[in-house]
A and B are shown apart, each in its own frame.
Chain A
Amino acid sequence: MSNDSATDHGAHPGFSANKIFITLFVLTMVEVGWGLGFQHSPHWIKWGGLIVFAFWKGILIYTYFMHMKFEGWIVKSLMIPTPFLIAIVVFALMPDVSHNDRLVYPVGSQVDKSNAHPGKVVGMIDHPKPAAPGNEAPKH
C-alpha cells in the first residue's frame, strides 16, 4: 500500500490515513468486545468505556479525516459554539430526566386495545408478564 502521507497542495504531512483507519478498526473491535463483555457490569463501567471509545473514534474522524486539525481559525471558530449548544440542549432535557422517573407504559408493554380493559398492560414483549406496580425491574 502506498504511503498516503500527502505532501501536495491541500494535503497535510504527518497525517497517515492508513494509521487512523487501523486505529478506528481496532477501537471498533475493542468497543464491541467491551459492550458485550461488560454487559452485566454496573452501568458506569459499561457506559463509561463505550462513551470513551465512541468519542475517541469520533475525535479521530473529526480531527484527521475531516481535516479539522489543519483548518484555519475561521472554520475552527465556526464549530466552537456547537459544544455549548449541545450542553444547553442536554441541560434543557435534564428536568425531563429527573421528573419522568416512570413512563406510563414501561418499554415493551403490550397494551390491551380491546374494550374489555382499555389501556391495561396485558403482556411484555421482553418479559413473560408485566411487572407488578412497585416491583419493576431496577432502573437503568
Chain B
Amino acid sequence: MSQATALPVRDVGAHGHPHEAAHHEHHPVYDYDSGPPVDRAKFAIWLFLATEVMFFTGLIGTNLVLRIGSSTWPNPENRLAIGITAANTFLLITSSWTMVRALHAIQKGDQAGLLRWLGGTILGGATFVSVQVYEYIELIHHGSLPNVDIFWSTFYTMTGFHGLHVIVGVIWLIAIWIAAARGKFSAQNFLRIELAGLYWHFVDLVWVLLFTIVYLM
C-alpha cells in the first residue's frame, strides 16, 4: 500500500533484534507491525505442527476405533520385534537430545559443536529409518503385508507416515548441516536450526506415542 511507504524506516528487525537487519537488508522494515509478536517463521512452524498433531490424531484414533471394535486383536509381541524397536526408540530420543545440544552449541557461537551435534542427529535419524526399513523387509519377507489384516494395515499406515516424516527431517537436517558447514549460522543467527529442531522434536514426540500404541499396547 502506498501509505506504508510513507512510514519511517528503521535499521533493526521487526521485533527489535539487530541481527534481523541482516535478513532485511534489501527490504525496508517499518515501524508498524501488524504481525504476531513472534518471529513469523516460528509462528508458521508451530501452526504447521498443530496441523500435524491433528493428522496423527486421525491415524491413532482410527487405529483405536478399529482395535476396540474388533473382537480379537493380536498381541503385538507375537508379531513385532519389540526389543529392537525399543532400542530404535531410544536412538530417536538420543537424536532429539543431540539436536538440543546442536542448538545450544550455536547459541554459544560454537560452530564445530554445531556440526558435531547436528551430524549426530542426522546419523541417529538415518539409522532409525534404516532399522525401520529392515523391519519392513523382514515382515514382508514373512508375508506380513498391509493387506493381510487390519493390524498390519494400521501398522504400516502409522509407522509408514511417521517414517516419511523422519526422512523429511533427515533431509532437512542435512541441508542445515551443509549451510552450517558453509558458516551460515552464528550466535545471533540460528533461527533455521531452531525451526528444524522443532520439527525434529515433534517427530520424536509422535514416535514416543506410536511406539506405545503400536508396539506395547
Asked whether B150 lies within 8 Å of A58 as measured between CB atoms, the reply is: no
Chain B residues near A21 (CB, 8 Å)?
Answer: 93-94, 96-97
The listed residue (A17, A20, A62, A103) touching B71 by CB distance below 8 A is A103
A25 to B89, CA, bound (A): 9
- Residues in chain A near residue B96, CB distance under 8 A: 21, 61, 65
- Encode B42-77 as 1/0 by CB contact (under 8 A) with A: 110011001001100110011011111111111101
Cβ-defined contact, B198 with A66, below 8 A: yes
In whole Å, how far is A119's beta carbon from the nearest beta carbon of chain B? Answer: 15
Q: Is the CB of B53 within 8 A of A137?
A: no
Q: Give the CA-CA distance A13 to B46 in the complex, in Å.
A: 23
Q: Is the CB of A79 within 8 A of B46?
A: yes
B149 — which chain A residues lie within 8 A by C-beta? 105, 107-109, 125
Q: How far is the CA of A102 from the CA of B65 in the complex (A)?
A: 11
Alpha-carbon distance between A14 and B166 when the two chains are bound, in angstroms:
30
Contact with B along A12-30 (1 / 0, CB 8 A): 0000011011001100100
Q: With A39-B77, A50-B217, A65-B201 in contact, do A8 and B69 touch (Cβ < 8 Å)? A: no
Q: Closest residue of chain A to B210, judged by CB?
A: A54
Residue B7 CB within 8 A of the other chain: no
Interface assignment of B9: CB less than 8 Å from any CB of chain A = no
Asked if B123 is at the interface of the complex by the 8 Å CB criterion, the answer is no
Report yes or no: A66 in contact with B201, Cβ–Cβ below 8 A: yes
Residues of A within 8 A of B162 (CB): none
| Pairwise interchain contact A75-B38, C-beta atoms closer than 8 A | yes
Whether B172 is near chain A, meaning CB under 8 Å from some CB there, is: no
How many positions in chain A have a CB within 8 Å of any CB in the partner chain? 64
Q: 0/1 per residue, A110-124, Cβ < 8 Å to B?
A: 000000000000000
- Which A residues between 27 and 61 are near B, CB-CB below 8 angstroms? 28, 31-32, 34-36, 39, 46-47, 50-51, 53-54, 57-58, 61
Work out how many contacts link A and B, with CB atoms closer than 8 A: 177
Which single member of A34, A58, A90, A137 contacts B72 (CB below 8 Å)?
Answer: A137
Q: Which of B22-30, B100-108, B124-132, B174-182 touches A?
A: B100-108
Residues of A within 8 A of B72 (CB): 106-108, 126-127, 131, 136-137, 139-140
Q: Mark A90-105, 1 if CB is under 8 A from B, else 0.
A: 1001001100111101
Of the candidates A6, A10, A102, A137, the one having the most CB atoms from chain B within 10 angstroms of its own CB is: A10
Contact yes or no, A107 B187, CB < 8 A: no
- Interface: B196 (CB within 8 A): no
Q: How far apart are the CA atoms of A101 and B213 in the complex, in Å?
A: 20
Contact assessment for B86 and A32 in the assembled complex, using a CB-CB cutoff below 8 Å: yes
Q: Does B38 lie within 8 Å of A72, measured CB to CB?
A: yes
Q: Which of B36, B61, B74, B208 contacts A108 (CB 8 A)?
A: B74
Which A residues are in CB contact (< 8 Å) with B99? 65
Whether the pair B70, A106 counts as a contact (CB closer than 8 A) is yes
- Give the 3 A-B CB pairs with smallest separation, nearest first: A35-B216, A100-B69, A54-B212
Given contacts A72-B38, A103-B71, A107-B149, 9 further A-B contacts (CB under 8 A): A10-B190, A74-B43, A75-B38, A85-B54, A89-B58, A90-B61, A102-B71, A107-B151, A140-B72
Instruction: Name 14 interchain pairs, CB-CB below 8 A, sorted by A.
Output: A21-B94, A28-B89, A35-B215, A36-B216, A61-B204, A75-B42, A78-B46, A79-B50, A93-B64, A102-B69, A103-B150, A107-B149, A137-B72, A140-B70
